[in-house]
Structure 1
Amino acid sequence: MEVWFIRHGVTRHNQDGIWQGQRDVPLAPEGYEQARRLAERLARAGLTWTALYTSDLARATETARILGERLGLTPRSDRRLREVCVGELSGLARRDVAERYGDYLARSREDPWNTRFPGGETMAELAERVWRFVEELGGGRYLVVSHGGAIRAAVLRTLAAATPAPWRIRLENTSITRLRFPEGVAAGGYVDSVGDAAHLEPGLLPES
């Protein structure tokens, strides 16, 4: 089984440094272009896909729609693929979080895996719900459009690791992270690639 996690295209909140969490923010114009470039890359790869899944948040469903139209797949929505709930931080700029939630940030640096976002989830809880989704997949090759925090959690769960710095896993918008489970999820898996965004490099894809 292979699971190709795709981070959604960029949003205005991403560009402006605003915490999103489960706030339903649409793609920015640049996000649509990123998704189109990714769709073209995947189409040219000539691979067969078992299914296309997506978070139910707009920035993911819009990305998945563009992929699905190019690849001939119908996106299937699953709430478990949502971003981590950041609670009171949703909609705040990074500078405001630093000013108002200094105590939380200090605790999070010490234990980012188990420190709860104010009024939200922990990374450990996020990992559990994303992993329940992965465990229900059968054999095949899947495209899964999700979010930065959710994808990081899936990577760390595959590695059986709770790193003290999950945010050091760099994931560009529309990047590809490939997980492979040769003998099923229960037997453990491998991380084949993380944050592959080669399709965003200028000149990689010829003009169509």
Structure 2
Amino acid sequence: MNACMRMGWVRHGLTAWNKAGKIQGTTDIPLSAVGEMQAQRLADRLLREKGLWNGVVSSDLKRAAKTGQILSDRLGIPFLTDPRLKERSFGQAEGTTEAERIERWGPDWRRRVPDQETDGSVRERGLAFVEQFTASHPGENWLVVTHGSFLAQMLQTLIADAGDGHIANLSLTVLERREDGWIPLLHNCTAHLRDDFHE
């Protein structure tokens, strides 16, 4: 029987575009000061929980990489990047607000923006990452820092009944690899962002 592996999936911290309601995609927007503080709070939580994380692997976009670097530095564990973890390209929709997207493409804009990456493409590269990384790090536990749309697609692919709810900034979702697939241990948790969590 293969040793269990855990992946702690983390959505990057807040950016100025997140706050403004603009879709980012592959546009390389940096973390805001609030986003950096959120990453520190998750790092503090993980230190308090004293769980064993072997390293952090992140999307190479700035907002995810900075989040991952903060976690790596605070926990004293290795930091890697992998371009397969970057966000879906939203093409012409990048930099627009929801209202602007609805005005241009209608309420079904997610299906109508012509030059965005498809769900199938996102899932294909995400699964390629998961399978390769799992094979090369058996029995280890890794934090995986990525993006909202990408992460939603991966959770729907890896676990049954994942739903398609909003994935919060700096949320933590922990999956464990067992013989019958990936089992969710924690989903979209942001308890560490509450002020009373750190009192």
Contact 2:102–2:109 (CA under 8 A) maintained in structure 1? no
CA shift digits 1:127-153 (9 cap, x unpaired): 111111111123321100001111111
- RMSD of aligned Cα (Å): 1.8
Is residue 2:146 matched to residue 1:189? Answer: no
Q: 2:43: which partner in 1?
A: 39
Contact 2:26–2:88 (CA under 8 A) maintained in structure 1? yes
TM-score (norm 1): 0.86
CA shift digits 1:9-52 (9 cap, x unpaired): 00000000001011100011110110110110011111222221
Unaligned runs of 5+ in 1: 109-114
Moved over 3 A (4+): 160-163
Q: CA deviation at 1:124?
A: 2.3
Aligned length: 191
Q: CA deviation at 1:161?
A: 6.7
User: Residue 172 of structure 1 aligns to a residue in which SS?
Assistant: coil
Contact 2:101–2:109 (CA under 8 A) maintained in structure 1? no
Aligned mates of 1:158, 1:73 — CA distance in 2: 26
Is residue 2:9 matched to residue 1:16? Answer: no
Structure 1 pair 88/96, CA: closer, same or farther in 2 (3 Å)?
A: same
Instruction: Find 1:50's aligned residue among 48, 54, 62.
Output: 54
Residue pairs, 1:1-208, within 5 angstroms: 1-102=5-106, 105-106=107-108, 108=110, 115=111, 117-136=113-132, 137=134, 138-159=138-159, 166=164, 169-183=165-179, 187-206=180-199
Structure 1 pair 77/20, CA: closer, same or farther in 2 (3 Å)?
A: same
Aligned mates of 2:139, 2:95 — CA distance in 1: 39
Structure 1 pair 156/42, CA: closer, same or farther in 2 (3 Å)?
A: same
User: Residue 197 of structure 2 aligns to a residue in which SS?
Assistant: coil
Aligned amino acid, residue 200 of structure 1? L
User: Residue 181 of structure 1 aligns to a residue in which SS?
Assistant: strand
TM-score (norm 2): 0.89
Contact 2:55–2:72 (CA under 8 A) maintained in structure 1? no
User: Residue 203 of structure 1 aligns to a residue in which SS?
Assistant: helix
Aligned amino acid, residue 128 of structure 1? E
Structure 1 pair 179/195, CA: closer, same or farther in 2 (3 Å)?
A: same
Q: Identity of counterpart residues, as a percentage?
A: 36
Contact 1:171–1:194 (CA under 8 A) maintained in structure 2? no
Unaligned runs of 5+ in 2: none
Structure 1 pair 117/190, CA: closer, same or farther in 2 (3 Å)?
A: farther
Aligned mates of 1:107, 1:174 — CA distance in 2: 26
